[in-house]
Amino acid sequence: MTTNIKATGNESKFNSRSKKTNTLTEETGRIQPQARELEEAVLGALMLEKDAYSIVSDILKPTSFYDKSHELIFASIQDLAIQQKPIDMLTVIEQLRKKGELEAAGGATYIAQLSQKVVSSAHLGYHARIVAQKYLARELITFSSNVASKAFDETNDVEDLMQEAEGQLFEISQRNLKKDVTPIGPVIHEAIELMTEAAKRPEGLSGLQTGFKDLDKITAGWQNSDLIIIAARPAMGKTAFVLSMAKNMAVNYNIPVALFSLEMSNVQLVNRLIVNVTEINGEKIKSGQLQQHEWHQLDSKIKDLYNAPIYIDDTPGLSIFELRTKARRLVKEHKVKCLIIDYLQLMNASGMTSHSREQEVSLISRSLKGLARELNIPLIALSQLNRQVENRTFKDKDASEAKRPQLSDLRESGAIEQDADIVCFIHRPEYYKIYADAQGRDLTGKAEIIIAKHRNGSTGDILLSFKKEYIRFQNLDEDNIVEEYQSRINGQVNYIATMNGITNNSFQNNVQNTDQNFPF
């Protein structure tokens, strides 16, 4: 008779404990991968040798054992190791008795027999790896069985199922991935190679250029595997900042960039990029009510964007699993060098067990840092700040200081500050009707980028120009270029108007919008 065991939707996707007493797989009726004798040998060796646990601590966990009694015994051994207590037959029996699990683990007699079956722990590491491999095989069987069951259910969307399956398979591989220690020699060699490459560049940068000179000086460019948090209150220009940066990286330096927008559609983002590049009012771009010279201006300046290596994903409510899947494809297929997420608090951790929004954000933050390390590229995530910034006042300090963001202002989770390699704040004093700082410097149209945390370098503040009408951040010296250009244009207009008797304004309009050499 063929045994037919059907998976139910209530079972956990990867619950290796479920139905261990059933030795048949759900699909084929064959015995699940297991190594009971080796499990006994491993447990016996752990109770026989003093330092044996250190050999298997990063290879095995309680759920690695197929036999339920073995799982309970190893969990007690793990408890003893954490408490730095001796591990032997007597202490393990006592620990199980305290937990009320001695009988479920087979009783004192069975545990005594385990310690008598092993002569030494000489092959403990090898045996432990076989046990771990059997566990991984069972995980894959459970995974494939659940995927097959859902695939037969026609109510499930196939694309959603593929995304879920890929995320779950990746989670299994990450859970069971063990990285060995590395000798220092090869690491030094790699570090010297990076230094040599950086020395060849005129700017001396070891990371990706952002196009913001002062920012690049402090950070040496965005570094691979770094999680960079860019935080600000609403209306400070977070999206405008990363769009300006993405445009600089993709257009000026041909660096492939991917932007995940959870707040705006791809068309809205592209419209902002068009305003940024063409310097045409955003309302006109949306309405299409452009004058003839503005159509020429649009056609002339938008050319660089067509072939720019910028990739946009506007999936709302993106989960960390979906992000991981899409990011890996972008890196593999399009050689993307930088990921931008707008913004962190709009993500969700579906599939993860959490009890509060703060815990969920912590999981997302930790996962983003893990993804940056896995892909070995910079990952930039925008983040909101809480309302403390708006309510804060310092009676004895300059007003601009009171509104400057602090690390404690990061919204919903201190884990963001902990996981991030760099935390930058965007602060526009002009927004709070502050037009000069304590030194009397003019802050009109200026934005401060405050590097509040830099794990591998110095902190500091830089000043950028913010062109609100063009949704653009730029270097301060670019303002001088614009002024010089405007002065040149005005000179041409005045001279020709005098010679030809035409009005200054009408000719200036024509010259400004047909000049092809203007750097913006």
User: Count of domains in the chain?
Assistant: 3
Count of alpha carbons within 13 Å of 275, Cβ hemisphere only?
23
SS3 at position 259: strand
Q: Are residues 288 and 380 in the same domain?
A: yes
Q: Are residues 461 and 493 in the same domain?
A: no
Predicted local confidence at residue 1, as pLDDT: 39
Q: Are residues 157 and 304 in the same domain?
A: no
What residues pair up with 312 in beta bridges, in sequence order? 259
Q: Is the whole-model pTM more than 0.85?
A: no
Q: Are residues 427 and 398 in the same domain?
A: yes
Residue 358 is a catalytic residue = no
Calpha distance 141→149 (Å, rounded): 12
Pairing status of strand 446-454 against strand 422-427? antiparallel
Per-residue pLDDT in tens (0 to 9) along the chain, 520 residues:
333 333 333 333 334 444 444 445 444 567 888 888 888 888 988 888 877 888 888 788 888 899 899 999 999 998 888 888 888 889 999 999 999 999 998 898 998 888 777 766 778 888 888 988 898 888 888 888 888 888 888 888 887 787 777 767 766 776 665 555 667 777 777 778 777 776 777 676 778 888 888 888 888 888 888 999 998 888 788 888 988 899 889 888 889 999 998 888 888 888 888 887 877 776 777 767 777 777 877 777 788 788 889 898 888 877 777 788 788 888 888 899 999 998 787 887 654 444 577 777 777 888 888 889 888 999 999 988 877 766 676 554 555 666 778 787 776 667 787 888 999 988 888 887 877 776 777 788 888 888 988 988 888 888 888 887 788 888 887 665 544 444 444 454 444 444 444 444 443 444 444 444 433 3
Residue 438 maps to a domain: yes
- Residues with Cβ within 8 Å of residue 245, at least 6 apart in sequence: 210, 211, 212, 473
Residue 41 maps to a domain: yes
Predicted local confidence at residue 399, as pLDDT: 57
The 10 Å Cβ neighbour count of residue 126 is 9
Only one residue has tokens 């009890």, namely 355
- Residues with Cβ within 8 Å of residue 475, at least 6 apart in sequence: 211, 212, 213, 214, 464, 465
Residue 379 maps to a domain: yes
Predicted local confidence at residue 256, as pLDDT: 92
C-alpha 340 chain-centroid distance: 8
Residue 31 maps to a domain: no
Q: Are residues 463 and 488 in the same domain?
A: no
3-state secondary structure 146-212: HHHHHHHCCCCCHHHHHHHHHHHHHHHHHHCCCCCCCCHHHHHHHHHHHHHHHHHCCCCCCCECCCC
Which residue in 263, 294, 401, 430 is the catalytic one?
263
Residue 50 maps to a domain: yes
For the chain, what is the total number of helices (H) and then of strands (E)? 21, 9
Ramachandran region of residue 130, left (φ > 0), alpha (ψ -120 to 50) or beta? alpha
Domain end among 118, 152, 174: 174
First to last CA, the chain: 77
Predicted local confidence at residue 227, as pLDDT: 92
Predicted local confidence at residue 378, as pLDDT: 92
Structural domain boundaries, residue 252: 208-474
Predicted local confidence at residue 413, as pLDDT: 61
Calpha distance 156→148 (Å, rounded): 12
Q: Are residues 275 and 144 in the same domain?
A: no
